[in-house]
């Protein structure tokens, strides 16, 4: 016996709409989470490198909490525990109809599921972004800071105009990896009822039992999104200016087994 594929039942009708809507939800939650993660990461790094002891330890504790606990648990806590603690008025506001908060295709962004997912994913990834950024900062030679100080730049100006641009260049590759992690981790938001791509595939499975086709299409969509996102971020990101050929990453030739040359 063989396996027969029936993609028609996945790529037409309601399943196609669910997939498209789920895919766009994944895109939106990734963008919202990434923006939040970036802002929080910069604040955390500022606290960690500032001379103040309290800020330093608070940021360090924040990093440990979010890095060392399961992200699924974090999402469940935000959605099932913390959301309920918010003021009634705020939850009521979110529960109302907001026509402008319905993005194509039929994705409600002003909803507890979307907000908790973007918030939870953003905070989770922010601590990894902070660690990458700080590693990039540590890789900037000490002489750069000395040169800036010797020219009368303040601590903040030294950070802003000399150290951070170079830290960002140093850390850009691993930072892109973390943004991709955020996109992939968004699949866990299916656990708090966000109708994103993974949840769409599961819905198709329970609708017409075409699990293999549904998850195949979902996987291809994740892959396409990841490749596009990675390429876009690398293209738009900072580059080492004036790098000579010797400084560029080595192109590693594929290895061939000896004696098997054609």
Partner 1 sequence: MAIVPMTTRYAGSQTHIGGSAADDAASASLTPAIEFRDVYKSFGSLHVLRGINLAIAPGDVVAVCGPSGSGKSTLIRLINHLETVTRGEIFINGVPTATLRGRPLQQLRTEIGFVFQQFNLYAHLNAEDNVSLALRKVRGVSNEKARQRAAKLLDRVGLADKARQYPAELSGGQQQRVAIARALATDPKIVLFDEPTSALDPEMTGEVLHVMQGLAKSGITMMVVTHEMSFAREVADRVIFLDAGVILEQAAPADFFNAPVNPRVRRFLKQLLSPLSPG
Q: Does the protein bind partner 1 through residue 152 (CB under 8 A)?
A: yes
From residue 124 to residue 143, what is the string marking binding to partner 1 with x (rule CB under 8 A)? -----------------x-x
Q: Does the protein bind partner 1 through residue 166 (CB under 8 A)?
A: yes
- Cα Rg of the chain, angstroms: 23
Calpha distance 172→164 (Å, rounded): 12
From residue 79 to residue 98, what is the string marking binding to partner 1 with x (rule CB under 8 A)? --------------------
The partner residues of 103 in beta bridges, in order of sequence, read 107
Which pairs count as long-range contacts for 162-170, CB under 8 Å and 24+ apart, including other chains? 163/137, 164/137, 165/238, 166/136, 166/140, 167/133, 167/134, 167/136, 167/137, 167/139, 167/140, 168/133, 168/136, 168/237, 168/238, 169/136, 169/238, 169/239, 169/240, 170/135, 170/136, 170/137, 170/139, 170/140
Among 84, 99, 104, 242, contact with partner 1 (rule: CB under 8 A)? 242
Q: How far is the CB of 231 from partner 1 (least distance, A)?
A: 23
Dig out the tokens for 238 from the structure: 């900072």
Among 3, 150, 261, 262, contact with partner 1 (rule: CB under 8 A)? 150
30 versus 169: smaller Cβ distance to partner 1: 169
72 versus 153: smaller Cβ distance to partner 1: 153
Question: How many residues in the shown chain lie near partner 1 by CB under 8 A?
Answer: 27
Interacting span for partner 1 (CB under 8 A) from 63-71, 151-159, 186-194, 218-226: 151-159
Q: How far is the CB of 38 from partner 1 (least distance, A)?
A: 20
| Helices 164-185 & 211-236 angle (0-180, nearest 10) | 170
160 versus 184: smaller Cβ distance to partner 1: 160
Q: Does the protein bind partner 1 through residue 214 (CB under 8 A)?
A: no
Q: Does the protein bind partner 1 through residue 240 (CB under 8 A)?
A: yes
Q: Does the protein bind partner 1 through residue 49 (CB under 8 A)?
A: no
Q: Got the DSSP string for 82-124?
A: IHHHS-HHHHHHHHS--GGGEETTTEE-SSHHHHHHHHHHHHH
Residues engaged in binding partner 1 (CB under 8 A): 141, 143-144, 146-157, 161-162, 165-166, 169, 238, 240-244, 247
């Amino acid at each position: 016996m063989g396996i027969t594929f029936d993609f028609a039942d996945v790529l037409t009708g309601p399943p196609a709409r669910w997939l498209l809507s789920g895919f766009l939800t994944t895109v939106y939650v990734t963008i919202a989470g990434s923006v939040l993660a970036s802002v929080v990461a910069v604040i955390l790094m500022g606290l960690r490198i500032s001379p103040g002891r309290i800020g330093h330890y608070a940021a360090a504790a924040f990093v440990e909490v979010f890095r060392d606990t399961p992200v699924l648990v974090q999402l469940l806590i935000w959605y099932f525990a913390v959301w309920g603690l918010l003021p009634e008025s705020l939850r009521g506001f979110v529960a109302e109809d907001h026509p402008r908060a319905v993005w194509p295709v039929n994705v409600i962004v002003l909803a507890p599921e979307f907000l908790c997912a973007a918030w939870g994913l953003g905070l989770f990834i922010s601590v990894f972004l902070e660690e990458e950024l700080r590693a990039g900062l540590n890789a900037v030679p000490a002489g750069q800071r000395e040169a800036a100080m010797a020219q009368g730049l303040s601590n903040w100006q030294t950070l802003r105009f000399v150290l951070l641009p170079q830290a960002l260049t140093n850390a850009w590759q691993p930072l892109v990896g973390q943004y991709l992690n955020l996109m992939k981790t968004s699949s866990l938001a299916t656990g708090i009822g966000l109708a994103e791509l993974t949840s769409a595939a599961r819905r198709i499975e329970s609708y017409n039992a075409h699990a293999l086709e549904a998850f195949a299409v979902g996987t291809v969509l994740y892959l396409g999104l990841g490749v596009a996102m990675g390429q876009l971020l690398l293209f738009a990101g900072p580059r080492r200016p004036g790098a000579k050929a010797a400084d560029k990453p080595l192109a590693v030739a594929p290895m061939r087994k000896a004696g098997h040359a054609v």
